[in-house]
């Protein structure tokens, strides 16, 4: 039985820090999705006039940058065998709070500081409910997300759309400016990717996230601080969402707090799952998020150029996800028999 | 007489590497045929091919003298081949009757109808199981009866048992053997896979032994004894080394490391008191349900405090009460689980990383950055010193044999430098060669002055290893023996009465 593992052990090291410690499962879907991305990209470039231009590629990256940042946050939680449905609320409410505070005269530092505090608070709330009260993360984060969005809409903001105040223009570059043609929002995505990659691959808490997602029982018995690790991963996801919120509001010059009611969170999950980070935890890494984001961005961009309707684009998105998951399970059948290869 | 099942030159290659090679095998009607071999010998692959789970690379399967192709488990079932797995495949939240008829229900399924049918069927088999009982409330033996009944219901003529007795208590085992005799009387042919050699000797008509995927010997059971089986299995004589000689020297007790007094945990542990000393192996023998695992899980913090109803635990004279294993780790206590798949190892990680994880957990939040080279060095060092064998250095733990998996789990704990090491069933599902190595390791730890606890339900093992023998029954330690004057009969007597 051990023979079947020989090929997977000699894999390329192309993605370096972006890889998780888990190998075969995440890796193979990564390969498939990368291939799919290259194929679609080449086909578009050959067939679609206006796709393979610098301007369009930059547009493509800009449209998915925020989604990619959110995907990175979600990836941390999913690797730790959880899910964070409150990310859109953590994106909208703390960043709208920053805009509002700045507009009403607080200094930029105080405003952002309070925004971070709120994001951390949301994460701690999620984490404590999941880790210590042992409520499934699906329900916890759904409820917390709705609650936080409600708090924002009822208590904090006068209007549903909070506009970008001129007092914050000193940091407006994170969503608007560009360096050497690359928009800062794309750079923000890359920077987040590198930081999350270093965290997951190069630090002890990052490895603990993998361990607790892989096998919580073993992690606990080994003496890993399982519950603090869980709290930490939710704090990280909501802080990353807050950062995504700042980028988004800077680029659109406002924060629409109704964003929570949209289906955006599904896109975030789509990016993570499409890239090959299994929902069963412990698998995948930053490379999976990047490739998932690029694939979705490319597909959608091409459809927009072809002037396909929004409803049709939704259909395509669903099909792409199905195809990716299907291809993975065809190539790596994951039934009980192959999962338990301990004995011949 | 034509054999009911015949295998001719059966071969299965995985990525060009043979898992089983050129196996010839016959099974007569009404025969109990034991299939023995170390983990990795090819028993499971062979039976999976018979059950239609795995497709052979080469060779033929003949049923009643005719070649058949079994592409799916459903094909095999139709041909009268049923497999009863070690991990039961029943739905725990459903009743016995529902489980029996699962997949064969009428569109409008009447509970009363299937209850009556199940009742009649169970009576015909002489099984004492209430068809309306919910499966999760039943013991391992009853669950196995249901699995067998399900196999019989599909008119199986060949039943493959994969480690059927691993989770059974001695009483349940006896019942299981009666059952096998009943099945045999009905002309059902049985393939019996087990690590328990005595059982194979007691129950089978013929024995086939595999080693490294090849056929070693098939002979009448009467022609075998324990030594010959072990020798054929491992190709070397290990029986002496393992269980051959009786213990004649015991290590003197050192400092008292652990004292448990009047511990109560739920209804599993009732006023349990015991002590464990340094420099000794303390063996804890007890049947399933004797509370031995729970007691030591409390000691190591693996059981949550809210289940703890009373009593005290002292470590080196200091009263402790741990909420999580991370706390007991600091006091140099390690609990090595009996269930390595569920709470033992990290399946997506390499061997090295699994082992190094123990060290990382010990350091906790300190030292933020990882040093890969250090992790690799630690992992290599320990897998070398524990002789962990894998196809490649980066192999994942899930791909290893049971014995190597167990060694990884042990290494993960030993790297934390514990002073009190609790081994819970350290050799369950482990091949003979690895058992010897694990036993040597346990002895070495005690020689180094560590306090070692071995929990086991296998008498020869615990008598061989222990310097002190504690027997647990119904939630507490009831008797203490010295291995010098203990016999298997006396220990068992103390454990069951």
3-state secondary structure of A256: strand
Mean residue pLDDT of chain B comes to 84
Query: What does the pLDDT read at residue B390?
Result: 74
User: Chain A residues with CB inside 8 Å of B361's CB?
Assistant: 208, 219, 222-224
* Three-state secondary structure of chain B: CCCCEEEEEEEEEECCEEEEEEEEEEECCCCEEEEECCCCCCHHHHHHHHCCCCCCCEEEEEECCEEECCCCHHHHHHCCEEEECCCCCCCCCCEHHHHHCCCCCCCCCCHHHHHHHHHHHHHHHCCCCCCCCEHHHCCHHHHHHHHHHHHHHCCCCEEEEECCCCCCCHHHHHHHHHHHHHHHHCCCEEEEECCCHHHHHHHCCEEEEEECCEEEEEEEHHHCCHHHHHHHHHCCCCHHHHHHCCCCCCCCCCCEEEEEEEEEECCCEEEEEEEEECCEEEEEEECCCCCHHHHHHHHCCCCCHHHEEEEEEEECCEEECCCCHHHHHHCCEEEECCCHHHHCCCCCCEHHHHHHHHHHHHHCCCCCECCHHHHHHHHHHHHHHCCCCCCCCCCEHHHCCHHHHHHHHHHHHHCCCCCEEEEECCCCCCCHHHHHHHHHHHHHHHHCCCEEEEEECCHHHHHHHCCEEEEEECCEEEEEECCCCCCHHHHHHHHHC
Interatomic CA distance for residues B276 and B371, integer angstroms: 37
Interatomic CA distance for residues B35 and B210, integer angstroms: 7
Tell me the pTM: 0.75
Residues 9-48 on A with a CB inside 8 Å of B are: 9-10, 20-25
User: Chain B residues with CB inside 8 Å of A205's CB?
Assistant: 365, 368
Residues 7-26 on B with a CB inside 8 Å of A are: 13-17, 19-20
Of A1, A23, A218, the CB nearest to B344: A218
Query: What does the pLDDT read at residue B189?
Result: 92
Interatomic CA distance for residues B187 and B193, integer angstroms: 19
Of B335, B370, B399, the CB nearest to A207: B370
Interatomic CA distance for residues B334 and A278, integer angstroms: 31
B372/B416: higher pLDDT? B416
Spatial contact of B472 and B291, defined as CB atoms under 8 Å apart: yes
**Listed ranges A5-19, B106-120, B309-323; the one with the highest mean pLDDT:** B309-323
With an 8 Å Cβ cutoff, are B394 and A340 in contact? Answer: no
Of A205, A218, A341, the CB nearest to B399: A341
Structural domain count of chain A: 1
A263 Cβ under 8 Å from any chain B Cβ: no
Mean pLDDT of B462-477: 90
Per-residue confidence band for A252, with pLDDT thresholds at 50, 70 and 90: confident
Of A3, A208, A228, the CB nearest to B16: A3
Residue A18 lies in a domain: no
Tokens describing residue B214: 């090849």
Mean residue pLDDT of chain A comes to 84
**Listed ranges A18-32, A54-68, B79-93; the one with the highest mean pLDDT:** A54-68
Structural domain span for residue A113: 28-332
pLDDT in tens, B429-469: 787 788 889 999 999 999 999 999 999 877 788 888 999 99
DSSP string computed for A152-212? IIIII-SSSEEEPPGGGGGGTHHHH-EETTEEHHHHHHHHHHHHHHHHHHHBHHHHHHHHH
Of B43, B370, B395, the CB nearest to A202: B370
pLDDT in tens, A83-104: 999 999 999 999 999 999 999 8
Q: Is A181 exposed, middle or buried (0-12, 13-18, 19+ CB in 10 A)?
A: exposed
Residue A153 lies in a domain: yes
pLDDT above 50 (res B295) = yes
A interface mutation test: which of B15, B21, B348 has the most A CBs within 10 A? B348
With an 8 Å Cβ cutoff, are A218 and B346 in contact? Answer: yes
pLDDT above 90 (res A242) = yes
Among A48-62, A189-203, B39-53, B473-487, which stretch is predicted with the lowest mean pLDDT? Answer: B39-53
pLDDT above 50 (res A4) = no
Residue A9 lies in a domain: no
Query: What does the pLDDT read at residue B115?
Result: 86
Residues 192-231 on B with a CB inside 8 Å of A are: 213
- Residue A229 C-beta-side C-alpha neighbours within 13 Å: 31
B interface mutation test: which of A132, A202, A221, A281 has the most B CBs within 10 A? A221
With an 8 Å Cβ cutoff, are A342 and B361 in contact? Answer: no
pLDDT above 50 (res A14) = no
Query: What does the pLDDT read at residue A313?
Result: 85
Provide the strand spans (E) within chain A: 161-163, 178-179, 182-183, 254-256
Q: Compute the nearest-CA separation of A4 from chain B (Å).
A: 5
Tokens describing residue B13: 């290659």
Spatial contact of A220 and B335, defined as CB atoms under 8 Å apart: no
With an 8 Å Cβ cutoff, are A205 and B390 in contact? Answer: no
A343 Cβ under 8 Å from any chain B Cβ: yes
Residues ≥6 apart with Cβ < 8 Å to A270: A292, A296, A317, A321
pLDDT above 90 as % of chain B = 26
Residue A138 lies in a domain: yes
Residue A3 lies in a domain: no
Tokens describing residue B490: 């006396």
B124 Cβ under 8 Å from any chain A Cβ: no
Among A136-150, A173-187, B269-283, B370-384, which stretch is predicted with the lowest mean pLDDT? Answer: A173-187
CB pairs under 8 A between A and B: 177
Query: What does the pLDDT read at residue A333?
Result: 53
With an 8 Å Cβ cutoff, are B54 and A202 in contact? Answer: no
pLDDT above 60 (res A337) = no
Q: In what order do the strands lie in the sheet with B17-27?
A: B17-27, B5-14, B58-63, B66-68
With an 8 Å Cβ cutoff, are B398 and A342 in contact? Answer: yes
Mean pLDDT of B179-204: 85
Query: What does the pLDDT read at residue A8?
Result: 32
Residue A14 lies in a domain: no
Residue A344 lies in a domain: no
DSSP A49: T
Residues ≥6 apart with Cβ < 8 Å to A251: A62, A66, A175, A176, A185
Query: What does the pLDDT read at residue A1?
Result: 34
Among A112-116, B131-135, B157-161, B236-240, which stretch is predicted with the lowest mean pLDDT? Answer: B236-240
Query: What does the pLDDT read at residue A79?
Result: 94
pLDDT above 70 (res A300) = yes
Query: What does the pLDDT read at residue B217?
Result: 87
Mean pLDDT of B24-47: 85
pLDDT above 80 (res B120) = yes
Among A20-24, A116-120, B221-225, B418-422, which stretch is predicted with the lowest mean pLDDT? Answer: A20-24
Interatomic CA distance for residues B412 and B418, integer angstroms: 11
Mean pLDDT of B77-84: 86
Spatial contact of B376 and A21, defined as CB atoms under 8 Å apart: no
ipTM over 0.85: no
Residues 313-342 on A with a CB inside 8 Å of B are: 337, 339-342
Q: Going by DSSP bridges, is the β-strand pair B189-193/B32-36 parallel, antiparallel, or unpaired?
A: parallel
Interatomic CA distance for residues A296 and A276, integer angstroms: 13
Tokens describing residue A80: 């730790």
Nearest to B19 by CA among B218, B216, B234, B212: B212
**Listed ranges A129-133, B112-116, B341-345; the one with the highest mean pLDDT:** A129-133
List the Cα angle A128/A131/A135 in 5-degree steps.
Answer: 90
Q: What is the CATH number of the domain that holds A273?
A: 1.10.3470
- Radius of gyration over alpha carbons of chain A, in Å? 20
Residues ≥6 apart with Cβ < 8 Å to A65: A183, A185, A186, A188, A189, A247
With an 8 Å Cβ cutoff, are A2 and B400 in contact? Answer: yes
Residue A263 lies in a domain: yes
């Amino acid at each position: 039985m051990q023979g079947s593992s020989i090929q997977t052990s000699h894999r390329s090291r192309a993605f370096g820090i972006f890889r998780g410690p888990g190998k075969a499962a995440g890796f193979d879907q990564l390969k498939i999705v990368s291939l799919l991305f290259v194929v679609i990209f080449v086909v578009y470039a050959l067939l679609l006039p206006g796709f393979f231009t610098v301007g369009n590629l930059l547009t493509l990256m800009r449209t998915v940058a925020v989604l990619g940042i959110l995907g990175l946050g979600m990836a941390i939680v999913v690797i730790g065998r959880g899910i964070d449905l409150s990310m859109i609320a953590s994106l909208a409410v703390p960043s709208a709070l920053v805009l509002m505070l700045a507009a009403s005269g607080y200094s930029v530092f105080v405003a952002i500081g309070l925004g971070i505090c709120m994001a951390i608070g949301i994460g701690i709330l999620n984490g404590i409910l999941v880790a210590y009260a042992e409520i499934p993360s699906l329900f916890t984060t759904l409820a917390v997300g709705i609650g936080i969005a409600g708090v924002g809409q009822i208590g904090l903001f006068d209007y549903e759309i909070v506009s970008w105040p001129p007092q914050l223009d000193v940091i407006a570059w994170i969503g608007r400016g560009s360096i050497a043609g690359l928009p800062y929002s794309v750079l923000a995505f890359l920077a987040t990717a590198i930081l999350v990659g270093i965290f997951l691959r190069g630090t002890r808490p990052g490895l603990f996230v993998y361990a607790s997602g892989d096998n919580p029982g073993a992690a606990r018995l080994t003496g890993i601080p399982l519950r603090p690790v869980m709290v930490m991963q939710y704090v990280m996801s909501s802080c990353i969402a807050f950062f995504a919120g700042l980028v988004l509001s800077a680029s659109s010059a406002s924060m629409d707090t109704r964003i929570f009611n949209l289906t955006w969170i599904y896109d975030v999950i789509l990016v993570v799952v499409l890239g090959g980070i299994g929902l069963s935890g412990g698998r995948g890494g930053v490379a999976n998020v990047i490739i998932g984001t690029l694939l979705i961005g490319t597909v959608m961009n091409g459809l927009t150029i072809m002037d396909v309707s929004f409803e049709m684009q939704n259909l395509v998105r669903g099909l792409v996800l199905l195809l990716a998951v299907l291809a993975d399970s065809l190539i790596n059948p994951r039934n009980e028999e192959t999962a338990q290869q301990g004995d011949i | 007489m034509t054999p009911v099942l015949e295998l001719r030159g059966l071969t299965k290659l995985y990525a060009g590497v043979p898992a089983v090679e050129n196996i010839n095998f016959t099974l007569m009607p009404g025969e109990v045929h034991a299939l023995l071999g170390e983990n990795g010998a090819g028993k499971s692959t062979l039976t999976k091919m018979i059950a239609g789970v795995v497709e052979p690379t080469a060779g033929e399967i003949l049923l009643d003298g005719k070649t058949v192709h079994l592409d799916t488990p459903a094909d095999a079932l139709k041909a009268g081949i049923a497999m009863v797995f070690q991990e039961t495949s029943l739905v725990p939240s459903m009743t016995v009757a529902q489980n029996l008829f699962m997949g064969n229900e009428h569109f409008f399924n009447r509970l009363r109808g299937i209850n009556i049918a199940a009742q009649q069927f169970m009576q015909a088999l002489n099984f004492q199981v209430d068809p309306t009982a919910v499966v999760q409330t039943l013991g391992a033996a009853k669950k196995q009866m249901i699995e067998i009944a399900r196999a019989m219901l599909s008119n199986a003529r060949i039943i493959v048992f994969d480690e059927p007795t691993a989770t059974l208590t001695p009483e349940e085992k006896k019942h299981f053997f009666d059952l096998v005799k009943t099945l045999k009387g009905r002309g059902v042919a049985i393939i019996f896979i087990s690590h328990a050699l005595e059982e194979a000797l007691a129950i089978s008509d013929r024995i086939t032994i595999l080693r490294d995927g090849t056929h070693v010997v098939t002979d009448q059971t009467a022609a075998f004894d324990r030594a010959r089986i072990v020798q054929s299995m491992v190709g070397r004589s290990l029986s002496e080394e393992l269980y051959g000689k009786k213990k004649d020297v015991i290590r003197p007790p050192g400092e008292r490391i652990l004292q448990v007094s009047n511990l109560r945990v739920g209804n599993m542990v009732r006023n349990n008191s015991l002590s464990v000393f340094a420099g000794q192996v303390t063996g804890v023998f007890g049947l399933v349900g004797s509370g031995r695992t729970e007691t030591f899980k409390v000691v190591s913090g693996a059981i949550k405090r809210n289940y703890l109803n009373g009593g005290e635990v002292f470590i080196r004279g200091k009263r402790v009460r741990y909420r999580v294993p991370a706390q007991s780790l600091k006091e140099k206590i390690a609990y090595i689980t009996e269930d390595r798949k569920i709470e033992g190892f990290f399946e997506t990680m390499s061997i090295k990383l699994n082992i190094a994880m123990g060290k990382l957990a010990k350091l906790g939040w300190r030292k933020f950055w990882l040093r890969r080279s250090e992790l690799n060095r630690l992992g290599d060092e320990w897998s070398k010193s524990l002789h962990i064998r894998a196809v490649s250095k980066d192999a994942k733990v899930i791909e290893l044999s049971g014995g190597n998996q167990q060694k990884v789990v042990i290494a993960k704990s030993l790297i934390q430098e514990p002073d009190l090491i609790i081994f819970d069933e350290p050799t369950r599902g482990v091949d003979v060669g690895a058992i010897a190595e694990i036993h040597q390791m346990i002895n070495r730890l005690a020689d180094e002055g560590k306090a070692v606890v071995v929990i086991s339900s296998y008498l020869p093992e615990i008598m061989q290893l222990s310097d002190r023998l504690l027997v647990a029954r119904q939630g507490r330690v009831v008797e203490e023996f010295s291995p010098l004057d203990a016999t298997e009969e006396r220990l068992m007597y103390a454990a069951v009465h």
